C-alpha cells in the first residue's frame, strides 16, 4: 500500500528541507534585525509547522520573512500600518530584481499579517489591498533543449541511472521532485499497453504517467537496481544508499555532463519539462495535457507553451499566402488574355 506520509518525507529529503530549516534557526539568531521582527518570525514559523505544514514550504516562508525584515532592519516588520506597508511594497518592487522573488515576498507579507491578526480566511486591511500577479516566465524556442543537445547529454552520461533520469525527464515532462521521489512499487508494468506506468505524486496529488519510448531502458535498469528487492526504495539514489537522490545532487550530475558536452546554453532540470510540454502541446488535447502534466482544470499554464509551438498556425498561413499568390496570378493571366 502506498503511504502518502512516506512520499511527503521523501520530498522533504530531496530538497534537504529539515537541514535547511535547522540551519536557518541557528543562523537567524545572528541576523541584524529588530528583536521584535525576530521573535514574530520565529513564532510564525513554529505555528506554521505545528499546523502540519511541510518543511519545504516553511523554509520558503522563513527565507522570505528574513529578506523582508532585512529591508527594514531597524523596524518591527510585524508592526506596520497601511501607510508603512505601502512604503515597504514600493521598496520591494524597486529593490528586488526578479519578479518571482517580488511575488514570493508579497505573498509572504500577506500571509504573515494574516497570522499576526489571528485571521483564518480574510486578509487584514493593512495588506488586503496588495495584488499579486502570477506571471510565469516567457520562454522562446531558442531556450528549449534541441534534439542535438539532448543526444549529446545522453551520449556524455556514462551511467545508466543518469541516462534513464534524463530520458524520463524528457519523455514524461514530470517535475524533478516527482521523479526523485518515485519508488519501485510505484513503477508498474502495464501488460495491456506494454509500457510502464509511473504513479507520481506532485502539486495536484497523484497522477499516472505512461513511459513508452524508454520502457526498455527502464526495464533494464530495474533488473540491475541495487535495491530491486525493496519496493519502498526510490528509483534514483546515491550509490549504496536507499535514500533519494537530492535535487542539488541531481543538478551536480547534470552540470558535470553538460561540461563534457560543451553546451553553453543554460540547461536546468525544469527545462526538460518545458521542452516536452512544448513538443506535445500541438498534438494532444488540452484536457490530456492537464492530466499528463499535473495541472488543475482551471490552470492557465498551457498558454505559456502554446505560443512556442505554432506549427498549425504557420501551416495555415502559408497555405493562405499560397492561395493568395495563385489568385493574383490567375487574375493577372485573365487581364492579359482580355488585353
In a domain, 98, yes or no: yes
Domain count, the chain: 3
Q: What is the C-alpha separation between 47 and 45, in angstroms, rounded?
A: 5
pLDDT given at position 220: 98
**What residues make up the domain containing 289?**
141-306
Residues 146, 101: one domain?
no
Q: What is the C-alpha separation between 100 and 134, in angstroms, rounded?
A: 8
The three-state DSSP-derived secondary structure of 47-94 is: HHHHCCCCHHHHHHHHHHHHHHHHHCCCCCCCCCCHHHHHHHHHHHHH
Tell me the sheet residues that pair with 200.
207
Q: With contact defined as beta carbons under 8 Å apart, do 247 and 15 qualify?
A: yes
- Which H or E run contains 185? none
Residues 150, 281: one domain?
yes
Look up residue 197 and give its DSSP letter. Answer: E
In a domain, 333, yes or no: yes
Residues 184, 230: one domain?
yes
Residues 117, 245: one domain?
no
In a domain, 274, yes or no: yes
pLDDT given at position 313: 67
Final residue of a structural domain among 97, 128, 159:
128
Residues 323, 336: one domain?
yes
For 160-184, how does the pLDDT look when each residue is reduced to its tens digit (9 = 90+)?
999 999 999 999 999 999 999 999 9
Question: How far apart, in Å, are the Cα atoms of 184 and each of 85, 258, 284, 302?
Answer: 50, 28, 28, 30
Residues 9, 110: one domain?
yes
Residues 277, 150: one domain?
yes
In a domain, 135, yes or no: no
pLDDT given at position 310: 66
Residues 35, 54: one domain?
yes
- Regions of the chain with pLDDT less than 50: none
In a domain, 176, yes or no: yes
Final residue of a structural domain among 72, 99, 128:
128
- Give the CATH number of the domain where residue 284 resides: 1.10.443.10
In a domain, 134, yes or no: no
Residues 122, 154: one domain?
no
In a domain, 133, yes or no: no
Residues 295, 315: one domain?
no
Residues 168, 238: one domain?
yes
Q: With contact defined as beta carbons under 8 Å apart, do 184 and 230 qualify?
A: yes
In a domain, 136, yes or no: no
Q: Using alpha carbons, select from 135, 156, 339, 165 the residue that is nearest to residue 257.
A: 156
Final residue of a structural domain among 128, 150, 178:
128
Q: What is the C-alpha separation between 282 and 306, in angstroms, rounded?
A: 7
Q: Using alpha carbons, select from 176, 177, 172 the residue that is nearest to residue 196.
A: 172
Residues 152, 287: one domain?
yes
For 59-107, how does the pLDDT look when each residue is reduced to its tens digit (9 = 90+)?
999 999 999 999 999 999 999 999 999 999 999 999 998 889 999 999 9
Amino acid at each position: 500500500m502506498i503511504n502518502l506520509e512516506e512520499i511527503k518525507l521523501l520530498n522533504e529529503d530531496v530538497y534537504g528541507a529539515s537541514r535547511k530549516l535547522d540551519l536557518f534557526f541557528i543562523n537567524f539568531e545572528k541576523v541584524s534585525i529588530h528583536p521584535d521582527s525576530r521573535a514574530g518570525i520565529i513564532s510564525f514559523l513554529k505555528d506554521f509547522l505545528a499546523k502540519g505544514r511541510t518543511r519545504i514550504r516553511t523554509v520558503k516562508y522563513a527565507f522570505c520573512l528574513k529578506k523582508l525584515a532585512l529591508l527594514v532592519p531597524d523596524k518591527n516588520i510585524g508592526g506596520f500600518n497601511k501607510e508603512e506597508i505601502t512604503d515597504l511594497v514600493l521598496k520591494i518592487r524597486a529593490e528586488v530584481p526578479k519578479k518571482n522573488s517580488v511575488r514570493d515576498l508579497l505573498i509572504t507579507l500577506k500571509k504573515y499579517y494574516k497570522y499576526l491578526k489571528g485571521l483564518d480566511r480574510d486578509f487584514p486591511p493593512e495588506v488586503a489591498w496588495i495584488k499579486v500577479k502570477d506571471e510565469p516566465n516567457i520562454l522562446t524556442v531558442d531556450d528549449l533543449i534541441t534534439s542535438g543537445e539532448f543526444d549529446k547529454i545522453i551520449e556524455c552520461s556514462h551511467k545508466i541511472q543518469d541516462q534513464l533520469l534524463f530520458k524520463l525527464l524528457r519523455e514524461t515532462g514530470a517535475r524533478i521532485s516527482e521523479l526523485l521521489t518515485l519508488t519501485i512499487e510505484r513503477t508498474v508494468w502495464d501488460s495491456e499497453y506494454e509500457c510502464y506506468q509511473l504513479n507520481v505524486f506532485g502539486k495536484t496529488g497523484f497522477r499516472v504517467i505512461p513511459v513508452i519510448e524508454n520502457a526498455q531502458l527502464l526495464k533494464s535498469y530495474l533488473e540491475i537496481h541495487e535495491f530491486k528487492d525493496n519496493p519502498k526504495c526510490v528509483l534514483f539514489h546515491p550509490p549504496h544508499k536507499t535514500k533519494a537522490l537530492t535535487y542539488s545532487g541531481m543538478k551536480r550530475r547534470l552540470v558535470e555532463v553538460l561540461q563534457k558536452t560543451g553546451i553553453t546554453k543554460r540547461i536546468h532540470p525544469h527545462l526538460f519539462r518545458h521542452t516536452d510540454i512544448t513538443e506535445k502541446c500541438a498534438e494532444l488535447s488540452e484536457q490530456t495535457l492537464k492530466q499528463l502534466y499535473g495541472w488543475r482544470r482551471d490552470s492557465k499554464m498551457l498558454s505559456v507553451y502554446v505560443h512556442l509551438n505554432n506549427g498549425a498556425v504557420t501551416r495555415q498561413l502559408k497555405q493562405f499566402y499560397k492561395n493568395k499568390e495563385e489568385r493574383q496570378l490567375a487574375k493577372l493571366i485573365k487581364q492579359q488574355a482580355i488585353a
